[in-house]
């Protein structure tokens, strides 16, 4: 198995004419088609922001295969860590809630590193309001269980909400 993987990587690394894994033109055509399916032609500013962030990471198919292999290794390490716990509770962000549509801005993006760790592995997570800042903004708590344990995330989210007085509307 290990030899086959090494041979595959060597073969892919020799293929230099593969271009980028996801050409921007093809992605835009697909996005336009999806927008038309839901009855609009205007993407949201947030979707455009995601495209701008992702475009800088365009890579060859060979590089993408290498990145996906690294991601699988990282997921295995995360699974080993989570074997000690039912779930991990962390803040959603390093700050209280930010204005809608600003999460991809350079000055706010790094603040979501707590949540990104679990978003990248594709496993379940639940987010609940854990408190309120002095400015009246919600402070989020994320609960991330093991893969396929949405029941644990939802049960713990319910307990956190119950312990903190349940859902409360924002003060506007």
Tell me which residue range forms the domain holding 105: 87-165
Question: In the 3-class helix/strand/coil scheme, how is 73-114 assigned residue by residue?
Answer: HHHHHHHHHHCCCCEEEEECCCCCCCCCCCCCCHHHHHHHHH
Asked if residue 27 is part of any domain, the answer here is: no
Nearest to 151 by CA among 124, 128, 127, 130: 124
Asked if residue 153 is part of any domain, the answer here is: yes
| Count of domains forming the chain | 1
Asked if residue 99 is part of any domain, the answer here is: yes
- pLDDT, tens digit, 9 for 90 and up, residues 100-132: 777 777 787 777 777 777 778 888 999 998 888
Asked if residue 11 is part of any domain, the answer here is: no
d(CA 164, CA 162): 5
Could you tell me the mean pLDDT of each successive run of 10 residues in the chain, 172 residues long?
41 43 57 78 74 77 88 90 91 83 77 78 89 85 93 95 79 66
Asked if residue 8 is part of any domain, the answer here is: no
Asked if residue 54 is part of any domain, the answer here is: no
Measured in degrees and rounded to the nearest 5, phi and psi for residue 25 equal -60, -45
Asked if residue 81 is part of any domain, the answer here is: no
Residue 125 has a pLDDT of 93
Asked if residue 28 is part of any domain, the answer here is: no
d(CA 33, CA 25): 12
């Amino acid at each position: 198995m290990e030899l086959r993987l090494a041979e595959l990587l060597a073969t892919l690394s020799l293929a230099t004419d593969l271009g980028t894994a996801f050409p921007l033109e093809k992605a835009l055509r697909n996005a336009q088609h999806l927008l038309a399916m839901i009855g609009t032609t205007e993407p949201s500013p947030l979707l455009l922001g995601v495209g701008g962030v992702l475009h800088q990471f365009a890579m060859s198919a060979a590089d993408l295969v290498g990145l996906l292999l690294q991601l699988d290794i990282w997921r295995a390490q995360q699974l080993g860590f989570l074997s000690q716990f039912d779930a991990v509770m962390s803040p959603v962000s390093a700050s209280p809630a930010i204005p809608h549509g600003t999460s991809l801005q350079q000055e706010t993006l790094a603040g979501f590193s707590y949540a990104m760790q679990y978003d990248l592995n594709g496993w379940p997570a639940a987010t609940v309001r854990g408190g309120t800042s002095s400015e009246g903004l919600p402070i989020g708590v994320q609960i991330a269980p093991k893969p396929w344990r949405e029941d644990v995330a939802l049960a713990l989210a319910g307990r956190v909400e119950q312990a903190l007085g349940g859902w409360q509307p924002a003060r506007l």
